Every structure is written in structure tokens, then in C-alpha cells.
Amino acid sequence: MTIQAPQLDINTVAAGGGSRLFYRNGMVEVGPESAGAHPGPLCYRKGGHAAVTDANLLLGRVVPAFFPAIFGVGEDAPLDAGAAEAGLRVLADEINDAARRKGQAEKSLDEVRRGGWTDGERKRP
């Protein structure tokens, strides 16, 4: 007996804080790969990957003062905004290298933090 049912091809079901950030196919993408809890986002101080949490930390949506000092190899350090910024600078460099090759305007680090959008934009460029 053949059973047919409607279905969706879903690549990911969430974009949580550990979802990794990429520049692929001319767009800033989130996931579906995850940085996980170990090593986690770059701000966890364990050599992780650029992730949503890093962008949110730099945008002020994650407040380090509200987190205990449980990060790093010794699990005794606060969140690391410097590591998050360095990781997003690498992503920004990749985006801007592609923009220069295409003759497009470069993105600021703040625009990259927000997913490539400028103030007032409602869609990706």
C-alpha cells in the first residue's frame, strides 16, 4: 500500500545562538551547521566558530554582565567580545572581497553584524 502525505524539505528548524555564520552564494547565511556548546561561538573562548551569539554580543543584544564567568578552557572567564569581533571581521573581509570583485559597495562591520543589511533595508541586497 502506498501512502502519500504532504511534506516539506526542511534544512534546519531553528537559528539558535550556536548557528554558524557564513558568506555563501553572495549572501550572509545562518546554519544549518552549529558551533555547538563545545567549542561554541567564538565569544565562548574555546576556539569555536562565528555564530549568531557573536553577532548578538556585538550588537548589544547579549549583555556579558548577565553571564557568569564560565567560558574559556578553564571555564572561569567572561564572554570575549574581542574574539567575536575578530571573527566577524574575517566574515566582513570575505564579504567585501567579493563586493570589490563585483564592483559593489563594501559593507561596514556593523552591517555585517546585522546580517548584511543597512539601516532601512528590508531585504538582502
- Write the DSSP assignment of the chain as a string of letters: ----------S-S---TTEEEEEETTEEEEEEEE-TTTT-BGGGSSS-B-BHHHHHHHTTSS-GGGS-S-BTTTT-B---HHHHHHHHHHHHHHHHHHHHHHTPPPPPHHHHHTTSPPTT--S--
Q: Considering only residues 38 and 68, tell me which one the structure prediction assigns the higher pLDDT.
A: 68
**pLDDT (tens digit per residue) in 11-37:** 555 556 788 999 888 888 888 888 888
Chain CA centroid to CA 97, Å: 18
How far apart are the C-alpha atoms of 95 and 76, rounded to whole Å? 34
Q: Given a cut of 50, is residue 52 above it in pLDDT?
A: yes
In a domain, 107, yes or no: yes
In a domain, 6, yes or no: no
Q: Given a cut of 80, is residue 76 above it in pLDDT?
A: yes
Q: Given a cut of 80, is residue 124 above it in pLDDT?
A: no
- State residue 117's pLDDT score: 57
In a domain, 105, yes or no: yes
| Confidence band, pLDDT 50/70/90 cuts, at residue 118 | low
In a domain, 28, yes or no: yes
Mean pLDDT across 65-75 = 91
In a domain, 55, yes or no: yes
- Give the range of the structural domain holding residue 54, as residue numbers without chain letter: 19-113
In a domain, 77, yes or no: yes
How far apart are the C-alpha atoms of 73 and 60, rounded to whole Å? 24
In a domain, 75, yes or no: yes
Report how many domains make up the chain. 1
- State residue 13's pLDDT score: 54
| pTM, two decimal places | 0.77
Hey, what amino acid is at 29?
A: E
Task: Look at residues 115, 68, 121 and name the one whose alpha carbon lies nearest to residue 92.
Answer: 115
| 19 contacts 5 by C-beta, under 8 angstroms | no
Least confident of 5-9, 25-29, 90-94, 102-106: 5-9
Beta bridge mates, 41? 49
